[in-house]
Amino acid sequence: MQINGRVAIVTGAAGGIGAAIAQRLLEHGARGVLLTDLDDGRLAATVKRLAGAHGEERVSGDAADAASTADLERLIAAAGERFGPVDLYFANAGVGGGPGLDASEAEWSRALDVNVMAHVRAAKLLVPGWLERGSGYFFSTASAAGLLTQIGSATYAVSKHGAVAFAEWLSVTYGNEGVRVSCLCPQGVETELLRAGSRSDDPVERAAAQAVLDAGEVLSPLDVADRVTEAIGDERFLVLPHPQVLDFFRHKGSDYDRWLRGMRRYQEAVR
């Protein structure tokens, strides 16, 4: 799919990867991009910056909960009224959740709601229209944790595995009917989510963040967004800004028990 002339919605777009994706979409000629996030203040600042650079007629912002069906319906309608039918949807909003078995029921519910069910709800609203038009693109932001795991946070590891699984299912089920799907699985990215973990008072959360920081280069959000736009042009499913993730994934699949033993050793090293 070509980005030029397309309409997109990007969730979790007040900053970080979401804001960077929105910027690159506009630079590649998107007709209109609707940014959404729960953080109204940061979202407004990002929309103002992008509108100043690319034109107010091509950018809009709407504070919303990406896991709410009612909010998603409103966002899709707003994008359609302002720019035209939505061609690309970026399910980028995400939360970290709680550590280990101490995570509360509320933390489990929120992680699954935002990191998985938000994707399901958006797809339920968008895919029928894409099937009628014969074209559409669903872009899921998961994590390397969705292919491997996350030391410390069970809620994050499990929900990101779920995001990868749902993206796979979408591609298998609708890929021959014009619906394209990509799944982004980065390691360390310079975002507030990563830095908040490294500053946490909880030793498990700090260990989880340190594991990510130690795993390889921490990329800028714009570097990741460049890999996103390349993947759209290639219509490539798995997007790995950190190439070593593929090596880790292959090692995991070739000898699961050995990989688990190695992860246990690594966990002890970072705690």
CA 196 to chain centre: 18
Amino acid, single-letter form, for residue 266:
Y
Distance, CA of 18 to CA of 41 (rounded, Å): 15
Q: Hey, how many other C-beta atoms are within 10 angstroms of the C-beta on 2?
A: 10
CA 164 to chain centre: 10
Distance, CA of 111 to CA of 98 (rounded, Å): 9
User: Six-digit token pair at 86?
Assistant: 């939505």
Distance, CA of 239 to CA of 149 (rounded, Å): 17
Catalytic residue list: 156
Is the CB of residue 57 less than 8 Å from the CB of residue 27?
no
Is the CB of residue 98 less than 8 Å from the CB of residue 110?
no
Decide: helix, strand or coil at residue 220.
coil
User: How many residues would you count in the chain?
Assistant: 271
Q: Hey, how many other C-beta atoms are within 10 angstroms of the C-beta on 235?
A: 12
Query: In terms of DSSP H, where are the helices of 29-113?
Result: 40-54, 69-82, 105-112
